[in-house]
C-alpha cells in the first residue's frame, strides 16, 4: 500500500515509470502522420498541466526540437542552432505564423490598410516566408487572390533584402572583383521561395552585384544558381579547352582559348536586332539565352576567367564596354566580347585610341583603364533604364516599369555621398512616381530616402541648400502622403452600377456595357486574348490618347463603353489595355494561359469552369456590384 501511495503521488495517471513515459512520447512524435495526430504539440502542452512529472517530461528540449523539425520551417531570420529552449522557438514561430496569416487575411479583405498590413508582415522578415509559401496553391475559393498577395509580399521581402545588401556592400565596393574571392556560404537571410540564397564574405565577386541588379525583378532568383552556371562553364572550359598545364601557357593564349570557348563553342553572342531587350542586361537571363550586350558579355568573360585564374579587367570604354588582359610582358589586349571582328575580338591600345578618334572623342586615360566597381554597376543599371525607355510597350507593359524601378533604386543607392544624392537626382521623381503607381508597399524606401535627404539638408550639404531643395522635398513628401492617404481610404474609389437609366441623355451609340468583369475575349483586330477587370460607359482616356489611338475613327467612336483588360499577346507578353466594346469578341473556353500568370489574382478569386468566367474577388465585387448578371457570376 505504501508503494502504491508513493507511486500515485508522483504519477497520478498510473504507475508508469518516468523513463517509459518519456520513451513513449519520443517514439510517437514524428513517426508518421497517423500517430502524430494523437500527440500533437498542443496535446503535449496540455499534458504539462497534468502533474509536475508530466510537466518535466513534456518540456524536454529534445521533444520540442523534434516538434520544430517536424513542422518543417525552412526560413529563419536567425536559424536556431542550439537554443536553450526549443519549446520557446516552437511557440515563437507558431505565433508568428498566426500573426502573418491574420495580416494576410486583412490584405485580402479590404484595400483599406492593405499597405500597412503588408508592411507588418514584412517586419517578420524571413520568419514570414514559410507560411506565405504554404499559402500559395492552397485549394480555397479565393486561391488566385490569396496567391497573388502572398507572392506580392514575398517580392516585398526580397526587395527589402536586396536594398539592405546594397547598403551593406557600398563601403566594400572597392574589394568586389579581387582575384581571390571567398567561398560562398548559404544562409536563410534572403526571403525567396524555393531555394536557399547564397551570400558572400568580402571580397565580393563582381557578378554578385549583377545578381542583385537582376533580383529586383525576380524574387525566386538565387545567387547560388547564377554562380553554379558560371562554375559549370569554367569546369567545362578547364576540361575541354584550357590547357591543363595552365602555368606553361601564356596569359594571352589562355585568354584567347577562353574567348573562343565562350563565344564560338558555347555560342554566347551580342544581339543587334533586339539590343534594347531588358533581358540582355540581366546576368541570369544572359546565361540562359546566351545573348547579351557588351557589358554583360564582358562580365561573363571576366567571371569565368577569374575561375580559371585569369585576371580580366572591366573597361568602361565609351558606348561599347570592353574587357582587358595584360600579358606577362605588360602588353595590353582590349577584348570586345560583343563583336569578334578581326583578330578574334582582341584589339591593341592603339586600335582603341583610333576608335575614340573616329567617335570624335579626346583620348582620356579613364576610357582605357579598369572601371571602378561603383561605375560598373552604375553603367549596368543605366543600361536597363535606357532599355526600358526604348521598350515598344512602355505604356502598357506590366513588367517593364518594375525593371526601370529596380535599376533606379540601384542608381540612387550607388550615388552614395556623391552630389547626385540631392533632390535633383534625375531619376528620383520618376522612381517615386513608379513606386506610388505600381509598388506602393515600397513606401518604406521612400520614407528612408526622405529621412536621408532631410538629414543632409540639416547638415548643410551643398546639393541640399536653398528654397528649391525644400520645395523638392515637399513634393516627394506629398507622394508619400498620397500613398498613405489612399491606403487609409474607407471606401472604393468608385462604384459603378448597371442602372438601366445610366445611359439616358447620351447618344444612341451609348448603352449599358454589354460585357461584365471576369469575361474573357479576343481582340477583333489585334487577336490578343484578354480578361475584363473594369469598364467605363464612354471612353475616359485623355484627349491625347484618344487622338493618338484614332478612337474617333471607330464606327461607334468614343461614345461607346470601353473596357480595362488584362491582355496576353501570342508570345505571352502581359499588358494592360483599354479596349472599345466594338473590338471585343467574347469567350475563351481555356483559361490556362491566364491562370499561369499570378497577376490574374489581383482582380479574381478563381475560374468558374461552368460559366466560363473569372469570379471577381471581394474588392472588384464592391466596385462593380451589378456585374453578377446572366453573363456574370452568382456567388
- Give the pLDDT confidence score for residue 175 in this predicted structure: 47
Specify the DSSP element, H or E, that contains 131: helix 129-135
DSSP state of 580: E
Q: For position 310, what pLDDT does the model report?
A: 93
Q: Is 315 found in the same domain as 215?
A: yes
Best CA proximity match to 352, nearest among 327, 377, 369, 375: 369
Residues 158 and 224 placed together within one structural domain of the fold: no
Give the domain-ending residue among 357, 374, 391: 374
Which comes out higher in pLDDT, residue 269 or 58?
269
Mean pLDDT for 580-589 is 90
Closest residue by Cα to residue 433 from 391, 401, 470 = 401
Which residues have C-beta within 8 Å of that of residue 334, sequence separation ≥ 6?
315, 317, 322, 323, 324, 346, 347, 348, 349, 351, 352, 368
Q: Give yes or no: residues 326 and 441 share one domain.
A: no
pLDDT, position 31? 38
User: Which CATH number characterizes residue 281's domain?
Assistant: 3.10.620
Asked if the structure places residue 464 within a domain, the reply is: yes
325 shares its domain with 231: yes
Which residues are paired to 522 by β-bridges? 529, 585
Give yes or no: residues 228 and 359 share one domain: yes
Residue 611 counted as domain residue: yes
pLDDT for 8 beyond 60? no
pLDDT at 55 over 60: yes
Compute the distance between CA of residue 512 and CA of residue 500 in angstroms, rounded to an integer. Answer: 7
Residues 251 and 135 in one domain: no
DSSP code per residue over 133-156: HHHTT--STTHHHHHHHHHHHHHH
| Domain assignment of residue 32, yes or no | no
Question: Is there a single domain that holds both residue 341 and residue 441?
Answer: no
Under the banding of pLDDT at 50, 70 and 90, the label for residue 394 is low
21 in any annotated domain: no
- Residue 263 to residues 260, 310, 320, 339, 340, Cα–Cα distance (Å): 5, 17, 17, 9, 9
- Has residue 542 been placed in a domain? yes
Q: How far apart are alpha carbons 95 and 356 in whole angstroms?
A: 64
Do 443 and 589 have their domain in common?
no
Q: pLDDT over 90 for what percent of the chain?
A: 49
Of the given ranges (172-181, 237-246, 310-319), which has the lowest mean pLDDT?
172-181
Which of 473, 490, 507 is the C-terminal boundary of a domain?
A: 490
Segment 146-169 shows an average pLDDT of: 94
Across 49-53, 289-293, 434-438, least confident range:
49-53
Q: Which residues pair with 291 in a beta bridge?
A: 269
| Inside any domain, residue 187 | no
pLDDT at 398: 54
Q: What is the pLDDT of residue 1?
A: 41
**pLDDT, position 33:** 40
Assess whether 248 and 357 both reside in one domain: yes
Residue 17 and residue 25 in contact, taking contact as beta carbons nearer than 8 Å: no
In a domain, 50, yes or no: no
Per-residue pLDDT at 608 exceeds 50: yes
**Pair 240, 246: CB distance under 8 Å:** no
336 & 208 share domain: yes
Domain that holds residue 306: 204-374
- Per the prediction, the chain carries an average pLDDT of 83
Identify the DSSP state of 608. Answer: E
Q: Which residue has the higher pLDDT, 523 or 173?
A: 523
The verdict on residue 287 lying in a domain is: yes
pLDDT at 630: 45
Q: Are residues 160 and 268 in the same domain?
A: no
3-state secondary structure 172-218: HHHHCCCCCCCCCEECCCCCCCCCCCEECCCCCCHHHHHHHHHHCCC
- Whether 165 has a pLDDT exceeding 70, the answer reads yes
CA distance readout (Å), 356 to 343, 452, 460, 494: 19, 40, 40, 58
Shared domain check, 531 and 480: no
> What is the value of pTM for the model shown?
0.84
How many structural domains comprise the chain? Answer: 4
pLDDT of residue 79: 79
C-alpha R_g of the chain: 30
- The pLDDT value recorded for residue 569 is 84
E-only strand ranges, 486-629: 520-523, 529-536, 562-568, 574-580, 584-586, 604-608, 613-616
CA atoms within 13 A of residue 88's CA, in its CB half-sphere: 5
Distance between CA atoms of 231 and 476, rounded to whole angstroms?
44
Q: Provide, rounded to the nearest whole percent, the portion of the chain with pLDDT above 70.
A: 78
Amino acid at each position: 500500500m505504501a508503494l502504491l501511495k508513493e507511486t500515485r503521488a508522483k504519477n497520478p495517471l498510473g504507475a508508469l515509470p518516468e523513463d517509459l513515459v518519456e520513451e513513449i512520447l519520443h517514439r510517437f512524435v514524428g513517426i508518421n502522420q497517423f500517430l502524430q495526430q494523437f500527440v500533437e504539440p498542443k496535446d503535449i502542452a496540455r499534458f504539462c498541466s497534468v502533474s509536475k512529472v508530466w510537466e518535466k517530461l513534456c518540456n524536454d528540449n529534445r521533444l520540442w526540437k523534434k516538434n520544430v523539425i517536424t513542422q518543417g520551417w525552412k526560413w529563419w531570420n536567425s536559424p536556431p542552432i542550439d537554443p536553450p529552449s526549443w519549446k520557446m522557438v516552437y511557440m515563437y514561430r507558431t505565433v508568428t505564423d498566426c500573426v502573418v496569416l491574420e495580416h494576410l487575411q486583412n490584405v485580402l479583405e479590404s484595400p483599406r490598410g492593405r499597405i500597412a498590413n503588408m508592411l507588418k508582415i514584412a517586419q517578420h522578415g524571413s520568419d514570414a516566408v514559410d507560411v506565405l509559401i504554404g499559402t500559395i496553391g492552397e485549394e480555397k475559393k479565393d486561391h488566385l487572390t490569396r496567391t497573388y498577395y502572398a507572392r506580392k509580399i514575398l517580392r516585398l521581402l526580397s526587395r527589402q533584402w536586396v536594398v539592405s545588401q546594397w547598403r551593406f556592400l557600398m563601403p566594400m565596393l572597392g574589394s568586389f572583383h579581387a582575384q581571390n574571392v571567398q567561398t560562398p556560404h548559404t544562409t536563410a537571410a534572403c526571403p525567396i521561395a524555393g531555394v536557399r540564397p547564397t551570400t558572400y564574405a568580402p571580397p565580393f565577386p563582381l557578378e554578385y552585384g549583377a545578381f542583385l541588379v537582376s533580383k529586383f525583378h525576380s524574387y525566386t532568383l538565387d545567387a547560388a544558381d547564377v554562380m553554379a552556371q558560371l562554375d559549370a562553364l569554367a569546369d567545362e572550359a578547364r576540361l575541354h579547352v584550357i590547357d591543363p598545364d595552365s602555368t606553361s601557357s601564356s596569359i594571352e593564349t589562355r585568354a584567347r582559348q577562353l574567348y573562343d570557348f565562350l563565344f564560338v563553342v558555347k555560342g554566347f553572342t551580342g544581339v543587334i536586332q533586339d539590343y534594347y531587350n531588358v533581358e540582355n542586361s540581366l546576368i541570369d537571363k544572359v546565361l540562359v539565352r546566351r545573348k547579351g550586350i557588351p557589358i554583360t558579355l564582358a562580365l561573363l568573360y571576366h567571371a569565368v576567367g577569374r575561375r580559371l585564374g585569369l585576371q580580366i579587367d572591366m573597361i568602361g570604354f565609351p558606348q561599347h564596354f570592353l574587357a582587358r588582359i595584360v600579358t606577362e610582358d605588360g602588353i595590353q589586349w582590349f577584348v570586345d566580347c560583343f563583336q569578334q571582328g578581326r583578330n578574334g575580338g582582341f584589339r591593341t591600345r592603339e586600335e582603341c585610341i583610333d576608335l575614340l578618334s573616329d567617335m570624335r572623342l579626346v583620348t582620356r586615360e579613364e576610357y582605357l583603364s579598369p572601371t571602378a566597381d561603383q561605375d560598373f554597376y552604375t553603367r549596368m543599371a543605366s543600361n536597363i533604364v535606357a532599355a526600358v525607355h526604348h521598350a515598344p510597350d512602355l505604356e502598357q507593359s506590366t513588367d517593364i516599369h518594375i525593371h526601370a524601378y529596380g535599376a533606379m533604386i540601384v542608381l540612387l543607392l550607388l550615388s552614395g555621398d556623391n552630389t547626385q544624392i540631392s533632390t535633383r537626382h534625375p531619376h528620383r521623381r520618376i522612381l517615386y512616381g513608379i513606386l506610388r503607381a505600381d509598388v506602393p508597399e515600397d513606401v518604406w524606401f521612400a520614407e528612408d530616402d526622405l529621412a536621408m535627404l532631410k538629414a543632409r539638408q540639416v547638415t548643410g550639404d551643398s546639393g541640399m541648400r536653398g528654397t528649391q531643395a525644400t520645395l523638392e522635398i515637399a513634393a516627394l513628401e506629398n507622394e508619400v502622403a498620397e500613398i498613405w492617404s489612399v491606403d487609409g481610404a474607407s471606401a472604393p474609389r468608385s462604384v459603378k452600377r448597371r442602372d438601366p437609366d445610366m445611359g439616358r441623355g447620351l447618344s444612341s451609340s451609348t448603352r449599358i456595357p454589354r460585357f461584365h468583369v471576369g469575361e474573357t475575349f479576343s481582340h477583333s483586330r489585334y487577336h490578343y486574348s484578354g480578361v475584363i477587370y473594369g469598364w467605363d460607359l464612354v471612353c475616359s482616356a485623355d484627349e491625347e490618347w484618344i487622338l493618338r489611338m484614332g478612337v474617333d475613327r471607330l464606327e461607334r467612336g468614343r461614345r461607346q463603353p470601353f473596357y480595362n483588360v488584362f491582355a496576353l499577346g501570342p508570345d505571352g507578353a502581359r499588358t494592360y489595355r483599354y479596349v472599345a466594346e466594338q473590338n471585343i469578341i467574347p469567350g475563351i473556353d481555356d483559361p490556362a494561359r491566364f491562370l499561369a500568370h499570378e497577376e490574374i489574382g489581383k482582380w479574381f478569386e478563381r475560374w468558374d469552369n461552368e460559366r466560363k468566367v473569372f469570379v471577381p474577388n471581394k474588392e472588384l465585387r464592391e466596385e462593380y456590384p451589378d456585374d453578377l448578371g446572366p453573363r456574370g457570376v452568382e456567388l
